[in-house]
């Protein structure tokens, strides 16, 4: 099966194979209890399309040692779903979810994957805001993206 671009993949029953650069990865934590919910990441492909990627708690032990920021992977058997409206770390209404049958292959060929997303035009101060979970820290960052 050939790799699809992130603009070609659609939510539904089909499992997809994609070639992506993992540009950022973080632990999604439940603020009230500190419980880890998932390992989240920003994926980007050769078209400079970005997508949110999620490894749910049940599969983190399997995949966390296999995936690292700033590497390019061929990821097979991911399920694409419509993103939750309340949390979208990128401007894309789709999210790639890892499954127990998902496979990862780290590749060295980064030729067609862009390595610069943008330039930080403004980095605001860290501010504390009150949420229903208590105090949270936030910062505004504006990127100029070509």
Mean pLDDT of 2-19: 94
The pLDDT, as a whole number, for residue 73 is 96
For the chain, what are the domain ranges?
A: 15-111
The whole model's pTM is what?
Answer: 0.77
Domain 15-111 part of CATH 2.40.50.140: yes
Q: Are 142 and 118 in contact (CB under 8 A)?
A: no
The pLDDT assigned to 80 comes to 96
* Torsion sign, CA atoms 129, 37, 50, 83: negative
φ/ψ of 64, rounded to 5, equals: -55, -40
In angstroms, rounded to a whole number, what is the distance separating the alpha carbons of residues 44 and 104? 15
Quote the CA–CA distance of 99 and 54 in Å, as a whole number.
Answer: 10
């Amino acid at each position: 099966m050939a790799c699809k671009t992130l603009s070609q993949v659609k939510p539904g029953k089909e499992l997809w194979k994609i070639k992506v650069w993992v540009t950022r990865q973080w632990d999604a934590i439940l603020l009230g209890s500190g419980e880890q919910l998932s390992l989240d990441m920003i994926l980007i492909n050769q078209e400079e399309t970005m997508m949110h990627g999620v490894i749910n708690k049940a599969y983190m032990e399997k995949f966390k040692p296999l995936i690292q920021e700033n590497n390019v992977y061929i990821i097979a058997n991911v399920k694409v779903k419509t993103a939750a409206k309340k949390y979208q770390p990128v401007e894309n209404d789709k999210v790639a979810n890892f499954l127990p049958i998902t496979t990862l292959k780290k590749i060295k060929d980064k030729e067609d994957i862009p390595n610069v997303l943008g330039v930080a035009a403004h980095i605001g101060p860290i501010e504390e805001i009150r949420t229903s979970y208590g105090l949270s820290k936030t910062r505004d960052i504006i990127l100029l993206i070509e």
